[in-house]
Structure 1
């Protein structure tokens, strides 16, 4: 891959890694008037997180078995699901107020720890996923494998904790 193309991808990775979290933060401040609360969305996007976690695990299994084609399909699907999750998440928060956690005692601190790490790592994982993907599509598989060893556990943690956060907050919707 030429340096110009790599530079172009790197610029897009930087741009997306900054624009996505900023756009989500800004969109959280916007309420769509006249749209009813979309309370049906949280279980859908929690299910998308669960499916993403499953696909990530299956993708690792497939590449270890040497099935690069299925690995690639699973990873592209996981990326697509992550984008769909983000869209639904933003739509929900543009039409509904945030739900406060109602638990008390130690569970409250557990919830906020999981939520905090989930949010921080969901922002952090964006450039990792993009770099990992670009290295794969550019055929730089040694560099792809090296960064994928970092990307996979972070992305899996974000997907799994997304489900955990939903399960913990769901009684308070």
Structure 2
């Protein structure tokens, strides 16, 4: 595909209007998104949010409530921030959209049963007691679970499930 003067001018116009490289490639036809990005780079075209376009056309066109990128981000809000930057000797102001993350507190499931610990200190532990530490070791109320543990485990069945998770579950939890 050859870049004719007409296609280059159309590329410059669409780029100044704030269209993405994919949108420009679709309008030009016969050219890929990467080819558009390469041509923009070779032409040394400025960023899309320039003084030539308004702030509304320079912004990315997407809904205000975008889908979360990861499952641990409960919700996102879009905020607009004014940023100043230099282009040569000219200082320019532009509005950019940023995603903010609203923190949510994790609510544990209501049907989990946590066993009562026997509150043993280090000297009271045996081979058959759970050695799961509870609390801050620097505090007086620090203790170990102390419940009965199976022969092959240092932990009771409840704490063994916490300590030994299959790798697939660890990846999903992230």
Judging by fraction of residues, say which structure has more strand. 2
TM-score, normalised relative to structure 1? 0.21
Relative contact order (C-alpha < 8 Å, sep 6+): which is higher? 1
TM-score, normalised relative to structure 2? 0.21
Judging by fraction of residues, say which structure has more helix. 1
